[in-house]
Amino acid sequence: MTNLDKIMKPKAIAVVGASTKEHTIGSDIMKRLQEYKFNGNIYPVNPKGGIIEGLQAYTSVKEIPGEVDLAIIVVNAKFVLDTIDQCHEKGIKGLCIITAGFKETGKEGAEAEKALLAKVREYGMRCVGPNCLGVVNTDPEVRMDGCFAESLPERGHIGFVSQSGALGGGILNILKDLNLGFAQFISIGNQADVNAETALEYWENEEDVEQILLYMESIQNPSNFRKLASRISKKKPVLALKAGRSAAGASAASSHTGSLAGADKAANALLNQSGVIREYSLKNLFATAKVFANCPIPKGDRVAIITNSGGPGIMATDAVCEYGMQMAQITDATKETLRSFLPSAASVKNPIDMIASAPIEHYKETLKTVIADENVDMIMVIYLPFLGLKDIDVAKAVMEIKAQYPEKPVIGVFMTKNDFFTKLSDLDVNMPFFMYAEEAADGFNRLNQQRKWMERPEGQIPVFDVDREKAKQIIRQSLSEGRAQLTTRESIDVLDAYGIRVCKSGFATNEEEVVEVGNSIGYPVVMKMTSKTTSHKTDVGGVRVNIGSEEQLRAEYQDLIAKLTEKGLIDGLEGVIIQEMVKGNREMVCGIATDPQYGPMMMFGLGGVFIEVMKDVTFRIAPLTDIDAKEMIKSVKAYKLLEGARGTTPAQMDQIEETLLRLSQLVHDFSFIDELDINPLLISEKTGEGIAVDGRIKVRLEEAKQAIACECGSCTCCH
């Protein structure tokens, strides 16, 4: 049940806890509803009755004579549950609980909130809050300011969800200065019932809401959020500011909201896969919102720059190119038209420099001409104050042309005094204005990001033919010995069972077996110890590479046994794995790490000894689609190495993508896998294949034991 009409489009509101006492929430909410001219009936509720803000107050919601859609509750926390019962008796289906004192206060508050939610569900209600700022709908047919922010809301077409009430209130207070307006605003507070996902789904088909902004400290149900956001962001932009990025910030988020804050890299992966545009500051969030509020989605990424000064034009060009967008190739016909009215000193190549003497008429004619060019998708107009031109007059002239030709995004860069932007807030603007070219380029980049997401194919989650039973038996053997960490041999065998290309190899437990396996594979070979007690083999000299003969292999094996005996590690030795020596300098890594909130994350990037230093890795939440796998590989800086830099054999991209997808299927089939590393995934110089030369799998022991039932009757699992 996602319909929030009773809350967001009520015909009658009861303010439970309305007050005559100045500067109380109960008083402020009554005033805001009246000042904003709510289009329905307002019923104040106060145990003392009387007159509040000129309206008859009722001692209980049950006394109200007419029907009520929404109850805004501002009573003490201890009276909230009784108030919900009374609302149910009255037939009220929408609640907005401003009252604090629930799960954000600790265990007792959490229990009260649990009881609150149980009542809401039992009565078939919808509830915003508790511990929230309120709700707003600026639609002229509704006109509801049901929150206690200081300023009345500005009309616009943004749906904004804020997990922080105070932050939401602060933003409502500065909307006019931001040149922005909201269609609807929901402060979700503790999000006992209504959360960001509820709002997303509600606004999906709301024509009044043209873009959605989210301020979040936690994402309650990541898989549901991904499903909803992926669909809705194809129809309208979804922008998010996700707080709690640092370890300290995550801790603060948890104590502030009583919600678990997941790892930021997991949140980032989730938002990326959902088509959500993530911003890292309020300034950038509203700068991007301003762009989407005033610009259509472009048809491509070709940018034209119009300027009255060469230097800013060059800096703007640099900014556009740094975002990977193109400078538009202006047509000869456009250049000819520009030459017909611009002075000979002007440059009609892109960036188009009209020179400092450019009058307002040149701004208008140049913009009109460039908008008409079929090679141009977006236009940046730069103004620097010269020769007595008034910045606000130039802005009005540019907006006049923009109004005539609304089909392409136009962004103004006005390097002028701050009071220009104050004057803009009193105008009905139809395009965004910024102080610096870099801000405009960032806006174009966000428009282009949305365009590419909307054009991006849905992607499929393939299912491969794998030997699941073999993998299950290998894991069961580890569990039977009470081991969460699979040995290297077991890990590689699981990968092999799932069709992941691993090195040709064999297992040996004594010198003669070692030589027999080495001779059957062919030299050179690699020898790796596999131990039930030592997982990091290189730390104890457990990996010997480039062994070129039987004699060398014997010597290396004898030396390994001697070293392990000396260090007291021989008891854990299971044996050694002899592998083909795959030649290649390109070492990648892929694997799985589990986030407690977001679940399994897939990782891909530059591996080997560089993984910790370079950190050239990317993450996505499992399950992966084929498009996700492609994007993962292309998004790392090491992609150029895979393409075949300096004459090396190009990597088999399809095979590497398939490796990631097979890993995604593995963690789907065995959801108790906690960690998995293939490091390195070595790119063969001979074939370009990605070959798993080492593997490490760790499971969550108790969860794995429950998932894989053992029939032997004698192992630790069965007991």
pLDDT interval class at 255 (50, 70, 90): very low
DSSP per residue, 621-639: ESSPPHHHHHHHHHHSTTH
For the ranges 61-70, 484-493, 606-615, 625-634, the lowest mean pLDDT is seen at 606-615
pLDDT greater than 80 at residue 537:
no
Q: Cα-flanking dihedrals φ and ψ of residue 324, to 5°? A: 80, 15
CA distance 597 to 423: 46
pLDDT greater than 80 at residue 387:
no
Please write the tens of the pLDDT for every residue from 296-348: 999 999 999 999 999 999 999 999 999 999 999 999 999 999 999 999 999 99
Report the pLDDT value the prediction gives residue 254, as an integer from 0 to 100. Answer: 33
Judge contact between 448 and 325, C-beta under 8 A.
yes
pLDDT greater than 60 at residue 692:
yes
> Is the pTM of the predicted complex or chain greater than 0.85?
yes
Handedness of CA 259, 263, 268, 271 (dihedral sign): negative
Q: Which two tokens stand for residue 560?
A: 């390994």
Put residue 415 in one of left, alpha, beta given phi > 0 → left and psi -120 to 50 → alpha. beta
Share of the chain above pLDDT 70, in %: 95
Residue for token pair 């303010």: 15
The CA-based diameter of the chain, rounded to the nearest angstrom, is 102
Average pLDDT over residues 506-520: 94
pLDDT greater than 90 at residue 146:
yes
Report the pLDDT value the prediction gives residue 668, as an integer from 0 to 100. Answer: 97
Report the pLDDT value the prediction gives residue 246, as an integer from 0 to 100. Answer: 55
Helix (H) / strand (E) element for 490: namely: helix 488-497
Please write the tens of the pLDDT for every residue from 17-76: 999 999 999 999 999 999 999 999 999 999 999 999 999 999 999 999 999 999 999 999
Tell how far CA 86 is from the center of its chain. Answer: 40
CA distance 164 to 134: 11
Fold of 310-455: Rossmann fold (3.40.50)
Q: Which two tokens stand for residue 195?
A: 């959360």
Judge contact between 604 and 632, C-beta under 8 A.
yes
Instruction: Tell me the residue type at 484.
Output: A
pLDDT greater than 90 at residue 541:
no
Cis peptide before 680 (omega within 30 of 0): yes
pLDDT interval class at 590 (50, 70, 90): very high
CA distance 42 to 12: 6
CA distance 43 to 41: 7
| DSSP secondary structure letter of residue 485 | B
CA distance 651 to 586: 9
Cα-based angle 89, 94, 99 (whole degrees, multiple of 5): 95
**In what side-by-side order are the strands of the sheet with 505-508?**
505-508, 573-580, 525-531, 543-547
Question: Residue ranges per domain, the chain?
Answer: 5-292, 310-455, 468-580, 586-706
Supply the CATH classification number for the domain 468-580: 3.30.1490.20
In this chain, the answer to whether the domains covering 5-292 and 586-706 adopt an identical fold is: no
Judge contact between 146 and 96, C-beta under 8 A.
yes
Q: Which of 126, 121, 128, 120 is nearest to 146 (CA)?
A: 128
Which homologous superfamily is 5-292 in?
A: Succinyl-CoA synthetase domains (3.40.50.261)
CA distance 132 to 467: 52
Burial 30-62 (b: 16+ CB within 10 A, else e): bebbeebebebbbbbbbeeeeebbebebbebbe
pLDDT interval class at 263 (50, 70, 90): low
Report the pLDDT value the prediction gives residue 711, as an integer from 0 to 100. Answer: 46
Average pLDDT over residues 574-584: 90
For residue 249, how many other CB atoms are within 10 A of its CB?
Answer: 14
| DSSP secondary structure letter of residue 356 | T
pLDDT greater than 50 at residue 92:
yes
Report the pLDDT value the prediction gives residue 176, as an integer from 0 to 100. Answer: 84
Judge contact between 198 and 216, C-beta under 8 A.
no
Average pLDDT over residues 580-609: 88
CA distance 180 to 184: 12
Please write the tens of the pLDDT for every residue from 388-421: 899 999 999 999 999 999 999 999 999 999 999 9
Based on the number of CB atoms within 10 Å of its own CB, is 108 exposed (0-12), middle (13-18) or buried (19 or more)?
Answer: exposed
Tell me the average pLDDT of the chain. Answer: 92
Average pLDDT over residues 101-128: 97
Q: Cα–Cα distances in Å, from 559 out to 489, 526, 540?
A: 21, 14, 12
Report the pLDDT value the prediction gives residue 646, as an integer from 0 to 100. Answer: 76
Helix (H) / strand (E) element for 200: namely: helix 196-203
Report the pLDDT value the prediction gives residue 2, as an integer from 0 to 100. Answer: 60
Q: What is the dihedral of CA 702, 703, 704, 707, to 10 degrees?
A: 130
| Span between the terminal Cα atoms of the chain, in Å | 44
Q: Which of 582, 578, 581 is nearest to 510 (CA)?
A: 578
Report the pLDDT value the prediction gives residue 320, as an integer from 0 to 100. Answer: 98
For the ranges 67-76, 199-208, 273-282, 563-572, the lowest mean pLDDT is seen at 563-572
Supply the CATH classification number for the domain 586-706: 3.30.470.20
Please write the tens of the pLDDT for every residue from 652-677: 999 999 999 999 999 999 999 999 99
Share of the chain above pLDDT 90, in %: 80
Q: Which of 89, 99, 71, 54 is nearest to 12 (CA)?
A: 71
Judge contact between 352 and 304, C-beta under 8 A.
yes
Burial 433-463 (b: 16+ CB within 10 A, else e): bbebbbbbbbbbbbbbbbbebeeeeebeebe
For residue 598, how many other CB atoms are within 10 A of its CB?
Answer: 22
pLDDT interval class at 77 (50, 70, 90): very high
How would you classify the pairing of strands 94-97 and 70-73?
A: parallel
The residue count for the chain: 719
Cis peptide before 623 (omega within 30 of 0): yes
149 three-class SS: coil
Helix (H) / strand (E) element for 571: namely: none
